[in-house]
Amino acid sequence: LSVHEWAHAWTARRLGDDTAERLGRLTLNPLAHVDPIGTLLLPLLGVPFGWAKPVPVQPHRFHTRISMRTGMMLTAAAGPIANLCLAAISIVVLAMLARFRPEVVEPGRPAGLLLQTLIFLNVVLAAFNALPIPPLDGSRVADALVPEAARPAWEGFCRLGPFALVAVLVLPMLAGVSLFRWPLEATQFLLQQVVTLLGGNPI
């Protein structure tokens, strides 16, 4: 979550908006991104999802050479991309350990479990935040890409965003369906291929 929020702040700063930096949010320090409910309370209650404190962005402060919609799209996309980068780095580290220190990542060993958790958790965070439902990052990307003719319908959907988000979270659980089955299965396949290729031994 800290890397995700830092990526938002860093991208906004590169585009000209230093709001997050001035508020101390351009940092990887987890304490700067803690949300009392999403980061602390819900995990303590055993709720299987949460969130960090959103990074403030003021699009009117972006450089004039970039439109506010495009700037918001880039800033929003930076979070999920950062999570995918973390997952990719973890895959490479796991593969290298499998090659040079296979005993460290044997089934059930803490290092292997930690790296696999990092991989799948970051993929889930990226996939979830990429959904085009307000207030998720994907909605900012979609907002910049929606054609003008479809904008009234899109804005109407945005007003229902919180209800749509609850439905997306709750309905699959009630139906016994995994919302992230495809990205997790694809990640598992990719992980096995990379570890076998670089590490020489499947995990």
Catalytic residue numbers, as ranges: 5
Determine how many CB atoms are found less than 10 A away from the CB of residue 185.
11
Report helix, strand or coil for 152.
Answer: helix
Residue (of 149, 141, 87) closest to 116 by Cα position = 87
> At CB < 8 A and 24+ separation, what contacts does 16-22 make?
16/61, 16/62, 16/63, 16/66, 16/71, 17/57, 17/58, 17/59, 17/61, 17/62, 17/71, 17/75, 18/61, 19/56, 19/57, 19/58, 19/61, 20/55, 20/56, 20/57
Q: Yes or no: say if 86 and 38 are a contact pair by the CB < 8 Å rule.
A: no
- What CA–CA distances, in Å, run from 77 to 21, 63, 151, 160, 189? 18, 18, 20, 22, 25
Instruction: Sort 183 into a burial class: Cβ within 10 Å, 0-12 / 13-18 / 19+.
Output: middle
